[in-house]
Amino acid sequence: MRAAAEARHHAVAPYSRFKVGAALLTQAGEIFSGANVESASYGLTCCAERVALFRALTSGQRRFVALAVAARLSGGPMPCGACRQLLAEYAPNAAVWVADSRALRTVREFSVRELLPAAFVEIPKYSD
Ligand code: THU
């Protein structure tokens, strides 16, 4: 949670001004963090969770224990649908911890399965 709160300071959020930090803990004990990056073409914005996940994946990491997410929001920020999809594919067993960056000790924990039940995780093979 501390790494997520620290990463939040590096958010690039000139449009929403809503800064989010995320940190992924690997089974080997390494932490990969990220923050949201916004675009003038709003839809291109990338959430903190995906930035952290993409950093970890492209560093060769595949086994994750937990994802921490922090923002200045009571109860903490819940990952969006797009991030839930990627977590279901690449970090299905990670615990998801969310907290208000002003109260990091109050953590809510979720499983990826409960955040995205019945996820689409495999492309079917077509024979035609
Ligand atoms: N955002 C995240 O980075 N993670 C979340 O869990 C919720 C939303 C970002 C995207 C956008 O830059 C800003 O918060 C407002 O939606």
Looking at residue 40, its amino acid is A
Is pLDDT at 107 greater than 80 in this prediction? yes
pTM listed for this prediction? 0.97
65's CB contacts (< 8 A; 6+ apart) are: 25, 26, 27, 94, 95
Atom of ligand 1 nearest to the CA of 20: 3
- For residue 77, pLDDT over 90 is answered with yes
Q: Which atom of ligand 1 is nearest to the CA of 19?
A: 14
| Extents of the domains making up the chain | 2-115
- DSSP, collapsed to helix, strand or coil, labels residue 14 as coil
What per-residue confidence (pLDDT) applies to 127?
Answer: 77
Class of the domain covering 2-115: alpha beta
25-61, pLDDT tens digit by residue? 999 999 999 999 999 999 999 999 999 999 999 999 9
Question: Which residue has the CA at smallest separation from atom 8 of ligand 1?
Answer: 47
